[in-house]
């Protein structure tokens, strides 16, 4: 089995072509998993270690976050936390509770005056150092996908979900302005990203749905979120980059709109509410799918269960290309390591084209 990174392999899958094997794809793999794989510690500041992991584990690209927020959660280290902390301490010197500047606990834009008070310029100061530094470390054939975006999530987090939802109906223009300010920051970042040859795509990580369906109406998503993402997609394609998206939840009623906005890849096809075989049948010829081994299975399942599930996915989604195998979200530290390796190895063992699993 060829483990050498080859971004053309992934690109072929995105273009619905079969190559030597089904690619692997993740937005995030916890450092504890990377450490176990390499047999030595890999940490957030160990970029060479991370590159070694992604390339040796059989991935054709490694994801690197360049947005204001880490994928999944806001941490003390997130750029947005730093900006908010400075703002809070400027307004209320002596504040010591970190919850005061953590978007998981608090929000900042409730009414129109808050919009102008917010330090947008500081928030737009995104750190690209990791993205620059990785260039010299990448083995031949390997590319980087920049994780950016979060236009929807960042907007509602800045406003607080209840307030955001109410204002979307009661003061739509305020919400539209927050969307615009957040999106403008993302667009500025895109131009820097496009200046880097080793970055082959932009992956927006933005949860827009619950398990029961969209978090706001499809019409509102189309008007306020997808309109921006269409521009992101257009800019990506103009610059010969691919455009990927991650969202949890049931996206069924949104799939046609997501495809129409120019999305090349959707991940992870949330296994708690979406059926990969059905998604492949209905939309698989128009968009590339990445996923969708359940994280619950990675946490509590057995390796035979993982193997069986990976084989099902290869059988249902891999023929004809347009598919990369991965987890049903990301690979967290609570996934069993043996299950992660079983997922990866089963794909490498049984994912050679043409797929022969019946």
Partner 1 sequence: MADHLNTIQGAVIGGKHGEIKGLVQQALDAGLDPGGIVNDALIAAMDVVGKDFGDGKIFVPEMLVSAVTMKAGLEVVKPHLAGGESQSRGTIIMATVKGDLHDIGKNLVSMMLEGAGFKVMDLGVDLNVDKLIDQVKALQPDILGLSALLTTTMPEMQKVIGELKAQGLRDRVKVLVGGAPVDRAFAEKIGADGYGANATEAVELARRFAGAKG
302 interacts with partner 1 by CB under 8 A = no
**Helix ranges restricted to H, 195-321:** 218-221, 227-238, 255-260, 276-283, 295-300, 303-317
Query: C-beta of 169: minimal distance to partner 1 in Å?
Result: 5
Identify which of residues 142 and 306 has a Cβ nearer to partner 1 in the complex.
306
Residues from 159 through 188 that contact partner 1 (CB under 8 A):
161-162, 165-166, 168-170
Closest to partner 1 by CB, 55 or 102: 102
Give CA angle at 110 (106, 112), nearest 5°.
Answer: 145
Residues contacting 332, CB < 8 A, separation 6+: 30, 295
* CB 145, CB 62: distance < 8 Å: yes
> x-or-dash pattern for partner 1, window 34-73, by CB under 8 A?
----------------------------------------
At a CB cut-off of 8 Å and minimum separation 6, what does 172 contact? none
Cβ distance to partner 1 smaller for residue 216 or 265: 216
Pick the binder of partner 1 from 43, 105, 256, 281 (CB under 8 A): 105
Q: Which tokens hold the place of 57?
A: 């584990």
Q: How far is the CB of 165 from partner 1 (least distance, A)?
A: 4
Residues forming a β-bridge with 291 = 325
Measured at the alpha carbon of residue 12, what is the angle toward residues 6 and 18, in degrees to the nearest 5? 105
Helix axis angle, 172-194 to 161-170, nearest 10°: 110
User: Of 233 and 271, which CB lies nearer to partner 1 in the complex structure?
Assistant: 271
CB of 257 to partner 1, least distance (A): 15
Determine if 285 is a binding residue for partner 1 (CB under 8 A). no
| 76 lies in the binding site for partner 1 (CB under 8 A) | no
- Sign of the four-CA dihedral 169, 172, 174, 178: positive
32 near partner 1 (CB under 8 A): no
The least CB distance from residue 172 to partner 1, in Å, is 10
Number of residues that bind partner 1 (CB under 8 A): 25
Dihedral sign of CA atoms 62, 67, 72, 78 in order: positive
DSSP code of residue 226: I
State the minimum distance, in angstroms, from the CB of residue 215 to partner 1: 6
Packing angle, helices 161-170 and 151-159, rounded to 10: 100
Q: The tokens of 309 are what?
A: 């599930």
Task: Please report how close the Cβ of residue 244 comes to partner 1 at its closest, in angstroms.
Answer: 23
Is 320 a binding residue for partner 1 by CB under 8 A? The answer is no
Nearer to partner 1, 49 or 268 (CB): 268
Of 160 and 262, the one with the shorter C-beta distance to partner 1 is: 160
> Which residues 188-247 are close enough to bind partner 1 by CB under 8 A?
210-217, 220
Q: Is 98 in the site for partner 1 (CB under 8 A)?
A: no
Distance between CA atoms of residues 290 and 23, nearest Å: 9
Which residues contribute to the site for partner 1 (CB under 8 A)? 104-105, 161-162, 165-166, 168-170, 210-217, 220, 253, 272, 295-296, 299-300, 334
């Amino acid at each position: 089995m060829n483990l050498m990174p080859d971004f053309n392999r992934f690109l072929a899958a995105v273009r619905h072509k079969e190559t030597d094997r089904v690619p692997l794809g993740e937005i995030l793999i916890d450092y504890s998993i990377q450490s176990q794989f390499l047999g030595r510690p890999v940490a957030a500041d160990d970029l060479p270690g991370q590159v070694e992991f992604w390339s040796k584990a059989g991935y054709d690209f490694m994801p690197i976050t360049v947005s204001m927020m880490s994928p999944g959660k806001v941490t003390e280290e997130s750029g947005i936390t730093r900006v908010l902390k400075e703002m809070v301490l400027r307004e209320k010197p002596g504040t010591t509770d970190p919850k005061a500047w953590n978007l998981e606990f608090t929000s900042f834009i409730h009414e129109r005056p808050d919009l102008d008070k917010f330090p947008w310029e500081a928030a737009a100061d995104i750190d690209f150092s990791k993205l620059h530094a990785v260039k010299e470390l990448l083995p031949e054939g390997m590319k980087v996908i920049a994780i950016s975006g979060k236009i929807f999530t960042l907007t509602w987090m800045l406003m607080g979900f209840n307030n955001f939802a109410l204002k979307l109906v009661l003061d739509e223009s305020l919400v539209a302005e927050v969307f615009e300010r957040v999106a403008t920051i993302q667009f500025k970042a895109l131009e820097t990203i496009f200046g880097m040859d080793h970055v082959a795509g932009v992956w927006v990580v933005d949860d827009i749905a619950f398990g029961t369906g969209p978090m706001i109406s499809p019409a509102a998503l189309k008007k306020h979120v997808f309109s921006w993402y269409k521009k992101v997609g257009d800019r990506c394609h103009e610059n010969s980059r691919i455009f990927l998206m991650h969202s949890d939840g049931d996206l069924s009623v949104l799939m046609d709109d997501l495809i129409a906005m120019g999305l090349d890849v959707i991940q992870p096809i949330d296994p708690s509410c979406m059926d990969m075989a059905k998604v492949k049948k209905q939309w698989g010829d128009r968009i590339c799918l990445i996923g969708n081994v359940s994280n619950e299975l990675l946490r509590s399942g057995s390796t035979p269960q993982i193997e069986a599930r990976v084989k099902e996915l290869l059988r249902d989604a891999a023929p004809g290309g347009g598919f990369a195998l991965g987890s049903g979200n990301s690979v967290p530290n609570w996934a069993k390591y043996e299950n992660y390796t079983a997922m990866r190895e089963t794909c490498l063992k049984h994912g050679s084209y043409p797929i022969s699993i019946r």
